[in-house]
């Protein structure tokens, strides 16, 4: 059932009335969060027939982009901007489904690689076709708007990476 008002605009109004500060930041963060939920729900619906979530899909795509079809789990976590525990869980599920296999690194026994299988390559192609069909959940936005959103998000990621302290994990 449609709402009679825009909940983000109402939150802005209430926030501003209280004088809590950082109005634009709150509004942008809330807007991004809600938009993420809307887009992710559409993506998840498109991926569900393939038994994938967006995080598993992203891992498969990342592996399919590599020359050898394999990467160390730590490198995958870094590139996908997730914690190492998350990538381990993602690879566990993909391995159970037969889309990846774990293997020892050929020159560094400390590293474990995830390698995409032929079934993984097939499913990522089918899932990608499905996502392209729905414009990755952004079908009603003009291409220029999508580009501005992507540019703004890239700037935010860059600033976050620059400000993030190094960790040992």
Nearest to 120 by CA among 66, 39, 45: 66
Percent of the chain scoring above 90 in pLDDT: 54
Q: Which residues of 53-87 are buried (b: 16+ CB within 10 A; e: fewer)?
A: bbbbbbbbebbeeeeebbbbbebbbeebebeeeeb
Q: Is residue 23 part of a domain?
A: yes
For the segment 25-74, what is each residue's pLDDT rounded down to a tens digit?
A: 888 888 888 888 889 999 999 999 999 999 999 999 999 999 999 999 99
Q: Is residue 161 part of a domain?
A: no
Q: Is residue 104 part of a domain?
A: yes
pLDDT of residue 168: 44
- C-alpha span between 7 and 140 (Å, rounded): 20
What CATH number is given to the structural domain containing 125? 1.10.10.10
Residues facing 137 on adjacent strands: none
Domain that holds residue 145: 7-153
pLDDT of residue 121: 97
Q: What predicted TM-score, i.e. pTM, was given to this entire model?
A: 0.81
Percent of the chain scoring above 70 in pLDDT: 95
Beta strands per DSSP E along the chain: 70-72, 100-104, 112-116
Question: To 5 degrees, how large is the angle CA 94–CA 36–CA 49?
Answer: 40
Which segments of the chain have a pLDDT < 70?
1-3, 164-169
Q: Is residue 75 part of a domain?
A: yes
pLDDT of residue 6: 82
pLDDT of residue 2: 58
pLDDT of residue 57: 98
Q: Is residue 164 part of a domain?
A: no
Q: Is residue 24 part of a domain?
A: yes
- Total number of domains in the chain: 1
Q: Is residue 108 part of a domain?
A: yes
Q: Is residue 167 part of a domain?
A: no
């Amino acid at each position: 059932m449609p709402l009679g008002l825009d909940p983000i605009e109402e939150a802005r109004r209430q926030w501003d009335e209280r004088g809590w500060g950082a109005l634009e930041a709150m509004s942008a963060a809330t807007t991004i969060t809600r938009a993420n939920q809307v887009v992710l729900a559409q993506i998840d619906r498109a991926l569900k027939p393939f038994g994938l979530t967006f995080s598993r899909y992203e891992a498969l795509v990342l592996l399919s982009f590599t020359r050898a079809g394999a990467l160390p789990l730590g490198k995958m976590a870094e590139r996908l901007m997730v914690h190492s525990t998350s990538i381990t869980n993602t690879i566990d599920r993909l391995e159970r489904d037969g889309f990846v296999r774990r293997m020892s690194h050929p020159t560094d026994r400390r590293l474990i690689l995830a390698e995409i299988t032929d079934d993984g390559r097939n499913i990522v192609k089918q899932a990608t076709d499905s996502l392209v069909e729905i414009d990755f959940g952004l079908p009603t936005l003009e291409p220029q708007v999508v580009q501005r959103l992507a540019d703004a998000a890239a700037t935010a990621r860059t600033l976050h990476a620059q400000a993030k302290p190094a960790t040992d994990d």
